[in-house]
Chains A and B, each alone.
Chain A
Amino acid sequence: MTTDDIMINFLAIESMFNPKVQPPVARLSPELLSMVFEFLALHKDGLPQASVLKPAVARVCRYWRQVALNTPQLWRSLNLSGPRLARRLWERSDNSPVILRWVGSWLELDPVHEELIACISQRPARISALALEGEHSLIAQILGQLPSVLPSLESLFLNSDEPSATLLPLNDMHAPRLRRIDIDGIPVPWTSRLLSSANLRALTINNLGSDLPPLRLVLSCFAALSSLQVLDWAGELPVDSESESATGPIAERAVLMPALIFLCLDGSAAGCITLLRYIRRVPSDRARLVLCCDDAGDRGHTWQQRLWDAALAHWHPRARALPALTLLTNTHALHIAAGHASLLNDQYPPDWNTNPPLNLCLGVSNPRQLPRMMRALGPRVADACRDGVRTLFVQNDFQRMDGADWGSCLLQMPRVRLLHVVGPHAALSLATFVATADAAPAAHKVEAVLYPDVRRVLFSEIQFADVASRAGVACWQLAQWLVDASTPSGGRPALGAMEFYDCGGITDEDRVIDETTY
């Protein structure tokens, strides 16, 4: 038994009998506490967490500190740009796998850095993650000093400050356990063995620049990634050129990516459509697709429809209904979801491999295009959503959508259970639609649109006095219709809740209600 062991046991016993320390946390043995700390040092996705440099648990109390100091996994994030501390952590982390980081473009490699990297390079099996952020040449220098075979590397993150067309020395690198690659501002080494790893789970590509590889090269690379679950590509996307189109029917050149769950393409509509046509996956209710097309709004409704058709035909070849949809711009969103689909504006979460999916999102960069896009897609959305939609999330901060947009979508969604309206313009759109004089009286419209299945209505960030003055219908009137329509009759269940968050102007006194449940 070492001195450290004796100290830990002493502190553990002292902690258990310290009346100021409440059980049960104080009764965790050093082994259990150490196991908790090990989990704490991991990301939710199971990869090492790069940000733990000074673990808080080492500053809680003497007992926890001793346990933390003897938990090597807590000390394995080494910032190479601080070589002296990194050297100490390299030793304290014992034989644990380490995360090598470099952050800072203003620094240059000096002999102390190089000595440290040389020391680490003698134990390549200890390197589990590489996260290098800085100038392209500096990243190249560091990579050049590391061994070409990294048998334990699971995560590779490379981010260049200034996008460069120069390839990094990655082609000879071999990392058979690699699970995740994030590349930003650096040409993707499409022919490298790194990108043919059968273990690769996530590939994120950003800012490739205009020097794009041929589509066939990209597809042949994708074909080898049988375990890839996340493909997140933002920036320039490859487009199917005429010469490539002539090389054979799409069906013959399409690649099956059987494990793919999350696909996010952020680029031109033509690029999105191209990749959607060639990437095939196994239909799954966990599937998630996000498309953000800078030019989808500006190129006209034909492109929007093509994009929509490519997404649906590709993604739900056998699905009878679309589980979820978000039309998203910087200031507008119409979010329609079923089942567990939930958040707006979220990129894939850290626990993307377990989180229930949001399935489809179409974005336009020009917010004024959204109403036009909705008009173009309205009947198609309605067809896809008719039976499946349970949640309708409407956020429209910038300008209202007209009644026709609402009519084309909402009237075709009789199964909505949760309606969440965010922002004054979204509320104005709803109120206007309900109050607009046409064949159907307003109360009947509420009933027809929102019933029979709606159980919960949420309003957020809305000044209802403004809505009332501009739409000619007050919030209380809208609420009254909702409540009246929910009165149980003919087997209809009552409305479960009507909630207001950060809303004002609801009563005559203009009283602000932060959180109220009807």
Chain B
Amino acid sequence: MVVLITSDDERIVVEDDIAKRSGLIRDLLAAPWDPKDGDREYMGIELPIVSSDVLKKILEYCEHHKEEPFDDTYESEDMFADIDEWDLNFITADPHMAFEIVLAANYLEIPPLVSLGSKAVANMMRGKDAEEICDMFNIEKDFEP
């Protein structure tokens, strides 16, 4: 088991197989560990830019995909392939969470989830003009064409 420590100091215990869907965690677990630094499981892995609610969502995704082979590339042939129905429901359940998921998945190095989240964000913007995008994401429009 691996202990993940979120930005809001929650300790989340997760199975190795699920945690290792993240390239970052996989690398950290593979790195040599000096016992003088303490018990590895107790020390946990700090994820300072991932909040607990976002991490739980990401772990839900990792759990669902744990049987699949690792995909470490962003440029795979099926980058624009159909979105699986489970994935679609997962990423569209809370549209604004999609941004957080993209950021966290990028930090945790989970390329398929980054792609999935990016597609969801792109779909949110599809068909909208600049003003609508600014309003939707609360962006200050500091540019006039």
Contact = CB atoms under 8 A, between A and B. Distances in A.
A25 B123 CA distance: 14
B102 interface: yes
Interface string A22-61: 1011111100100111011010001000000000110111
Contacts of B81: 46
B143 A65 contact: yes
B106 A32 contact: yes
A511 interface: no
Interface in B98-121: 99-100, 102-103, 106, 114-115, 118-119, 121
Contacts of A354: 82-83, 85
Given A56-B133, A57-B125, A27 B103 contact: yes
Nearest to A20: B140
Interface in A344-362: 351, 353-354
Given A25-B137, A35-B115, A56 B142 contact: no
A95 to B, nearest CB: 14
Given A46-B80, A60-B134, A36 B121 contact: yes
B139 interface: yes
Contact of B99 (A25, A40, A42): A25
A24 B100 contact: yes
Contacts of A42: 80
Contacts of A64: 139
B143 A61 contact: yes
A5 B112 CA distance: 26
A56 B129 contact: yes
A480 interface: no
Contacts of A25: 99, 137-139
Contacts, number: 81
Contacts of B123: 39
B64 interface: no
Nearest to A37: B122
A40 to B, nearest CB: 4
Given A32-B118, A60-B130, A22 B125 contact: no
A351 B133 CA distance: 24
B90 to A, nearest CB: 15
A434 B125 CA distance: 48
Contacts of A28: 99, 102-103
B141 interface: yes
Given A56-B133, A59-B130, A24 B99 contact: yes
Contacts of A59: 130, 143, 145
B142 A62 contact: yes
A21 interface: yes
Contact of A32 (B102, B138, B141): B102
19 contacts: A20-B140, A24-B100, A27-B103, A32-B118, A36-B121, A36-B122, A36-B125, A40-B125, A42-B80, A56-B128, A56-B130, A57-B125, A59-B143, A60-B133, A60-B139, A61-B141, A61-B142, A65-B143, A354-B85
